Protein backbone atom coordinates (compact mmCIF):
# COMPACT_ATOMS: atom_id res chain seq x y z
CA UNK A 1 0.00 0.00 0.00
CA UNK A 2 1.66 3.24 -1.16
CA UNK A 3 0.39 5.98 1.07
CA UNK A 4 2.53 8.82 -0.26
CA UNK A 5 -0.23 9.69 -2.66
CA UNK A 6 -2.78 11.91 -0.84
CA UNK A 7 -5.64 10.71 -3.01
CA UNK A 8 -4.94 7.08 -2.18
CA UNK A 9 -4.77 7.87 1.52
CA UNK A 10 -8.03 9.83 1.27
CA UNK A 11 -9.72 6.94 -0.50
CA UNK A 12 -8.43 4.47 2.04
CA UNK A 13 -9.58 6.60 4.99
CA UNK A 14 -12.99 7.21 3.43
CA UNK A 15 -13.63 3.56 2.64
CA UNK A 16 -12.39 2.35 6.01
CA UNK A 17 -14.27 4.89 8.11
CA UNK A 18 -17.55 4.54 6.22
CA UNK A 19 -17.31 0.77 6.64
CA UNK A 20 -17.17 1.17 10.41
CA UNK A 21 -20.35 -0.17 12.04
CA UNK A 22 -22.52 2.51 13.62
CA UNK A 23 -22.34 2.37 17.42
CA UNK A 24 -25.42 1.13 19.22
CA UNK A 25 -26.51 2.24 22.64
CA UNK A 26 -28.95 0.66 25.02
CA UNK A 27 -32.25 2.31 25.78
CA UNK A 28 -34.12 5.45 24.75
CA UNK A 29 -31.44 8.14 25.06
CA UNK A 30 -33.82 11.13 24.94
CA UNK A 31 -35.99 9.75 27.75
CA UNK A 32 -32.94 9.01 29.88
CA UNK A 33 -31.51 12.49 29.36
CA UNK A 34 -34.83 14.18 30.20
CA UNK A 35 -35.17 12.07 33.36
CA UNK A 36 -31.60 12.97 34.38
CA UNK A 37 -32.26 16.67 33.75
CA UNK A 38 -35.46 16.52 35.82
CA UNK A 39 -33.76 14.82 38.76
CA UNK A 40 -30.91 17.33 38.53
CA UNK A 41 -33.40 20.23 38.64
CA UNK A 42 -35.14 18.63 41.62
CA UNK A 43 -31.83 18.27 43.47
CA UNK A 44 -31.03 21.89 42.67
CA UNK A 45 -34.41 23.04 44.06
CA UNK A 46 -33.86 21.00 47.25
CA UNK A 47 -30.44 22.59 47.65
CA UNK A 48 -31.94 26.08 47.40
CA UNK A 49 -34.65 25.19 49.94
CA UNK A 50 -32.02 23.88 52.34
CA UNK A 51 -29.96 27.04 51.96
CA UNK A 52 -33.10 29.13 52.57
CA UNK A 53 -33.95 27.22 55.77
CA UNK A 54 -30.40 27.72 57.01
CA UNK A 55 -30.70 31.43 56.24
CA UNK A 56 -33.93 31.77 58.20
CA UNK A 57 -32.39 30.03 61.17
CA UNK A 58 -29.42 32.37 61.04
CA UNK A 59 -31.76 35.38 60.97
CA UNK A 60 -33.40 34.29 64.20
CA UNK A 61 -30.06 33.58 65.88
CA UNK A 62 -28.69 37.00 64.91
CA UNK A 63 -31.88 38.77 66.05
CA UNK A 64 -31.87 36.90 69.39
CA UNK A 65 -28.19 37.64 70.05
CA UNK A 66 -28.69 41.30 69.21
CA UNK A 67 -31.69 41.54 71.57
CA UNK A 68 -29.78 39.93 74.44
CA UNK A 69 -26.84 42.30 73.83
CA UNK A 70 -29.27 45.20 73.80
CA UNK A 71 -30.83 44.21 77.15
CA UNK A 72 -27.39 43.83 78.74
CA UNK A 73 -26.33 47.24 77.40
CA UNK A 74 -29.52 48.82 78.81
CA UNK A 75 -28.95 47.22 82.23
CA UNK A 76 -25.35 48.42 82.33
CA UNK A 77 -26.53 51.91 81.41
CA UNK A 78 -28.98 51.96 84.36
CA UNK A 79 -26.31 50.66 86.77
CA UNK A 80 -23.80 53.29 85.57
CA UNK A 81 -26.27 56.17 85.99
CA UNK A 82 -27.31 55.03 89.48
CA UNK A 83 -23.68 54.72 90.53
CA UNK A 84 -23.00 58.22 89.24
CA UNK A 85 -26.03 59.58 91.11
CA UNK A 86 -24.73 58.28 94.45
CA UNK A 87 -21.56 60.43 94.30
CA UNK A 88 -23.17 63.75 93.26
CA UNK A 89 -25.21 66.33 95.17
CA UNK A 90 -28.98 66.13 95.62
CA UNK A 91 -29.88 68.57 92.85
CA UNK A 92 -27.89 66.70 90.32
CA UNK A 93 -29.16 63.37 91.66
CA UNK A 94 -32.71 64.52 90.97
CA UNK A 95 -31.93 65.31 87.34
CA UNK A 96 -29.78 62.19 86.98
CA UNK A 97 -32.44 59.87 88.37
CA UNK A 98 -34.99 61.35 85.99
CA UNK A 99 -32.57 60.62 83.09
CA UNK A 100 -32.01 57.15 84.57
CA UNK A 101 -35.74 56.48 84.14
CA UNK A 102 -36.05 57.59 80.53
CA UNK A 103 -32.53 57.12 79.03
CA UNK A 104 -32.36 53.32 79.00
CA UNK A 105 -35.91 53.02 77.71
CA UNK A 106 -35.15 55.40 74.86
CA UNK A 107 -31.93 53.51 74.06
CA UNK A 108 -33.69 50.14 74.10
CA UNK A 109 -36.42 51.52 71.86
CA UNK A 110 -34.05 53.02 69.27
CA UNK A 111 -31.80 49.96 69.10
CA UNK A 112 -34.82 47.64 68.97
CA UNK A 113 -36.29 49.62 66.09
CA UNK A 114 -32.96 49.44 64.26
CA UNK A 115 -32.80 45.69 64.74
CA UNK A 116 -36.35 45.26 63.52
CA UNK A 117 -35.53 47.23 60.37
CA UNK A 118 -32.40 45.13 59.74
CA UNK A 119 -34.43 41.97 60.29
CA UNK A 120 -37.11 43.03 57.81
CA UNK A 121 -34.47 44.00 55.21
CA UNK A 122 -32.72 40.64 55.59
CA UNK A 123 -35.96 38.70 55.31
CA UNK A 124 -36.89 40.62 52.17
CA UNK A 125 -33.54 39.97 50.50
CA UNK A 126 -33.85 36.33 51.57
CA UNK A 127 -37.20 35.97 49.86
CA UNK A 128 -35.75 37.52 46.69
CA UNK A 129 -32.72 35.31 46.66
CA UNK A 130 -32.20 32.22 48.75
CA UNK A 131 -28.46 32.79 48.66
CA UNK A 132 -28.58 36.18 50.37
CA UNK A 133 -27.38 34.78 53.65
CA UNK A 134 -24.75 32.68 52.04
CA UNK A 135 -23.45 35.83 50.37
CA UNK A 136 -23.52 37.70 53.69
CA UNK A 137 -21.76 34.85 55.45
CA UNK A 138 -19.12 34.51 52.74
Partner 1 sequence: MTTTDAITDAMPSVARLRAREPAAFTWLVAHCERIVLGLAQALGLHGADLDDAAADVFLAVYRALPSFEARSAVTTWVYAIACRVLQRSAIKRRRTRGVSFDEARHAAAGALSADQCSIDRERDEAIWAAVAALEPRSAMAVELHYRRGLNIEEIAATLQCPGGTVKTLLFRARAVLRNRLAELEPSR
CB 4 → partner 1: shortest distance, Å? 8
Q: How far is the CB of 123 from partner 1 (least distance, A)?
A: 31
Instruction: Quote the CA–CA distance of 124 and 44 in Å, as a whole number.
Output: 22
Least Å from the CB of residue 73 to partner 1: 52
CB-based burial of residue 124 (10 Å sphere; 0-12 exposed, 13-18 middle, 19+ buried)?
exposed
Nearer to partner 1, 17 or 83 (CB): 17
Q: Which residues are near partner 1 by CB under 8 A?
A: 1, 3-4, 6, 9-10, 12-14, 16-23, 25-26, 28-34, 36-37
Amino acid sequence: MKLNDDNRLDTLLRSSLTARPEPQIGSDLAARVMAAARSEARAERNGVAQRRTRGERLTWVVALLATVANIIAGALHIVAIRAAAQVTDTAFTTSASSSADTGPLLLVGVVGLGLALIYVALQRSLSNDGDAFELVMN
